[in-house]
Amino acid sequence: MEKKFYCFNCNKDVEPICKLQTNSYTVHKQKVKVKENVFTCPFCNNELLDENLNNSLYEIYNAYLQLYDLSFSKLKEIRESYNLSQELFAKSLGWSKRTIVRYENADSLPQNQYLQIYKKIKNNKNEFVNILKSNRKSLGDELYFKIFNLVNAELDLKTINVFLYVLKNNFLTKTQIMKNLFSIDFLSYKKYFKPITCFKYAHGTYGPIFDNKDAILNLLVKQNYLEMVNDEEDNILFKPTNEPDLFLFNKQEIEIMDNVLSKLKGKSSKKLTDWSHKFKGWIETNDGELINYSYSKDFDLQKNW
Ligand SMILES: [Zn+2]
């Protein structure tokens, strides 16, 4: 510790002895523990005050936020996960922009009711969309739909969880993800006349793809559902950051996903692409054209390998 402190006792600048100490504080009636540096004079043992008090207040507040599994930086991350500016995020929740700015800058400590909302909407788009919907009247339709599009609210929780289910212990490239999701939805449509995700598929060069595939994968990364990792050959793989929520699926849906997973597992992007090029729905459509779900009758997981 280079920094010198003034000791009133000894009436001179001294190089203090620094000791890490755990102190308890009460914030909003809750006890928090903070590790702090305590400085003492090496000559008279007097405790010396660190003039950097703001910093220690920040640590105390952050320790309080940790009781809610939050932190000042997480408050900002949560907003950014919804792809919204401070102003639009505030409006969605019915808060003032000033409130958000003060919280994100650590200028003030959020009240309990605000913290509860942060906690609720962290990694839970459905909760966020519910609050957004409840504020629709005061927002007006134009602003409401603008925000709705920005948070990509049509990507429902079930679809997100199909990604988490497919990628669990099974990190895949973009192309492999496309084949898995396409197979899951066409097999589900073939058996039960409805897909599991909210996607429609179109004819892409490497086989059927869902709309806006890059934007959707980017969004899932941005919203902390997926992260990108590299394999030994430097391919980009997608890896889930959460466990799938199995309560969103019924038994038949799980069975379909498991069928597809076991059939497609370990197959290269190239092999999957060649296979998908033998699907009638792909053969009979042009580049960019929608592949109607009625082609699901021609979908066969066991054939054309
Ligand atoms: Zn002293």
Rounded to the nearest whole angstrom, what is the distance from the C-alpha of residue 10 to the centroid of ligand 1?
Answer: 4
135-189 tens-digit pLDDT:
999 999 899 988 987 887 667 778 999 999 999 999 999 999 999 999 999 999 9
Rounded to the nearest whole angstrom, what is the distance from the C-alpha of residue 91 to the centroid of ligand 1?
Answer: 54
Rounded to the nearest whole angstrom, what is the distance from the C-alpha of residue 33 to the centroid of ligand 1?
Answer: 28
Rounded to the nearest whole angstrom, what is the distance from the C-alpha of residue 34 to the centroid of ligand 1?
Answer: 26
Separation of alpha carbons 28 and 212, rounded Å: 46
Rounded to the nearest whole angstrom, what is the distance from the C-alpha of residue 42 to the centroid of ligand 1?
Answer: 7
Specify whether the CB–CB gap between 159 and 200 falls below 8 A: no
Of 226 and 126, more confident: 226
Rounded to the nearest whole angstrom, what is the distance from the C-alpha of residue 43 to the centroid of ligand 1?
Answer: 5
Rounded to the nearest whole angstrom, what is the distance from the C-alpha of residue 25 to the centroid of ligand 1?
Answer: 27
Q: How many helices (H) and strands (E) are present in the chain, helices listed first?
A: 14, 9
Rounded to the nearest whole angstrom, what is the distance from the C-alpha of residue 16 to the centroid of ligand 1?
Answer: 9
Rounded to the nearest whole angstrom, what is the distance from the C-alpha of residue 4 to the centroid of ligand 1?
Answer: 12
Rg for the chain, CA atoms, rounded: 27
Coil vs helix vs strand at 12: strand
Is 80 exceeded by the pLDDT of residue 3? Answer: no
Rounded to the nearest whole angstrom, what is the distance from the C-alpha of residue 14 to the centroid of ligand 1?
Answer: 7
259-304 tens-digit pLDDT:
999 999 999 999 999 999 999 999 999 999 999 999 999 999 999 9
Is 50 exceeded by the pLDDT of residue 16? Answer: yes
Rounded to the nearest whole angstrom, what is the distance from the C-alpha of residue 47 to the centroid of ligand 1?
Answer: 8
Rounded to the nearest whole angstrom, what is the distance from the C-alpha of residue 50 to the centroid of ligand 1?
Answer: 14
Note the pTM of the prediction, 2 decimals: 0.59
Q: Among residues 171, 229, 230, 182, which one has the least CA distance to residue 204?
A: 182
Specify whether the CB–CB gap between 200 and 206 falls below 8 A: no
Rounded to the nearest whole angstrom, what is the distance from the C-alpha of residue 59 to the centroid of ligand 1?
Answer: 27
Confidence of residue 52 (pLDDT cuts 50, 70, 90): low
Rounded to the nearest whole angstrom, what is the distance from the C-alpha of residue 38 to the centroid of ligand 1?
Answer: 14
88-120 tens-digit pLDDT:
999 999 999 999 999 999 888 898 899 999 999
Confidence of residue 55 (pLDDT cuts 50, 70, 90): low
Rounded to the nearest whole angstrom, what is the distance from the C-alpha of residue 57 to the centroid of ligand 1?
Answer: 26
Rounded to the nearest whole angstrom, what is the distance from the C-alpha of residue 5 to the centroid of ligand 1?
Answer: 10
Instruction: Using a pLDDT cut of 90, give the percent of the chain over it.
Output: 62
Q: How high does pLDDT run on average in the chain?
A: 90
Q: How distant is the alpha carbon of residue 124 from its chain centre?
A: 8
Rounded to the nearest whole angstrom, what is the distance from the C-alpha of residue 19 to the centroid of ligand 1?
Answer: 16
212-223 tens-digit pLDDT:
788 789 888 877
Torsion of CA 80, 83, 89, 92, to 10 degrees: -140
Q: Among residues 146, 149, 170, 138, which one has the least CA distance to residue 239?
A: 170
Specify whether the CB–CB gap between 298 and 279 falls below 8 A: yes
Rounded to the nearest whole angstrom, what is the distance from the C-alpha of residue 279 to the centroid of ligand 1?
Answer: 84
Q: Among residues 224, 280, 271, which one has the least CA distance to residue 76?
A: 224
Separation of alpha carbons 56 and 33, rounded Å: 12
Q: Is the dihedral of CA 243, 249, 250, 254 positive or negative?
A: negative
